[in-house]
Amino acid sequence: MAIITSIFEFFFIGLYMVFFINYVKNREYLKLINFISASAFGITLEYLSIYIFDNYHYSENFIIQLGNAPNNVPIVIGLCWGMIIVSSMRISDTFGIRKRYRPFMDTLQAMLIDFTMDVTAIRIEGGFWDWGIPQYTEINSSSYFGVPWGNYLGWFLIVLTFSFTIRLNHHLWNDKINTKVIIYNILAPLFSYLPLYLGLEGTKQSYLFLLRSGVNFPWYTFSIVATLHLIALIVVIRAIRSSINIDPDSNTRLAVILQTSFHVFYLTAFIYLGLLSSIPLAGLIAGILFVINLVIHYQLHRLGK
């Protein structure tokens, strides 16, 4: 029995329900609509990525899945997408980052989770998912310890574009619920798919162009990923304020619990699987990212006093 997989699945589905109930209890229906939209975006994105591009495949160990192998998508993965996006948005809002720049902080928070998560996830009970490449024990030109650099480029573009899309919703209708808002949220994933596709395809085609021109640059995708993260970091540092924008509330606390839970789960699994001895550098980096996560949340707590 895939015990770790089941623990992950039911814990995060349970946490998703806590998010859902909290929005309903507090009558925050616009946030609920955004939450559902982000989750639907995550599920459909995963399904389309697997069905159309065939880049990776999910384990059959998950209990609640959409579709049949090899095109199966665990529902919990899409729900986690929703929780990661809305929790990152909430923390950025509470910090008081200038509105136009908040998607960049949303994205950096999501990437802290992704760099911690993926290295361990592909090694749990046969892998939560399989990229079809060797599980390298080092960082090389093609992958980050067995996770293709293109995955991190995709994550960056997905969170950035979807965050911009959802936040534009708030700007256009001033946080009011009406028919236009509902339709916009239903269509929001479509607005995010195009930049994602153009970004990934543009990277691929420009790399092929360099090869045809006689330029061999194997670290090309990594360079793009690193550059995008550096730009986002500079933007956030320049946009951050010295005080928070709103008082931390139950949504903020849930956001902190969600992000901390991801780090704790995957770091615990990393150690339990004995990966600390086989890929110690990955463990060190994951530990540093967790500390950064804790510093962000501590600063949030301190400013809220």
For 24, half-sphere exposure in the C-beta direction (CA atoms, 13 angstrom radius) is 7
| CA R_g for the chain | 19
pLDDT digits over 160-169, tens only? 998 988 888 7
- pLDDT exceeds cutoff 70 at 1: no
Reported as a pLDDT band with limits 50, 70 and 90, residue 303 is low
Q: Which of 34-43, 53-62, 200-209, 246-255 has the lowest mean pLDDT?
A: 246-255
Average model confidence (pLDDT) for the chain?
87
Return the pLDDT at 111. 96
Question: Do 139 and 279 form a contact (C-beta atoms < 8 A)?
Answer: no
Q: What is the mean pLDDT of residues 223-233?
A: 96
CA distance 45 to 67: 14
Residue 56 φ/ψ, nearest 5 degrees: -155, 170
Reported as a pLDDT band with limits 50, 70 and 90, residue 246 is low
Question: Do 133 and 147 form a contact (C-beta atoms < 8 A)?
Answer: no
pTM for the complete prediction? 0.90
Kindly state the percentage of the chain with pLDDT values over 70. 92
| Greater model confidence, 210 or 222 | 222
pLDDT digits over 103-162, tens only? 999 999 999 999 999 999 999 998 999 998 889 999 999 999 999 999 999 899 989 998
Which has the closest alpha carbon to 266: 252, 285, 247? 285
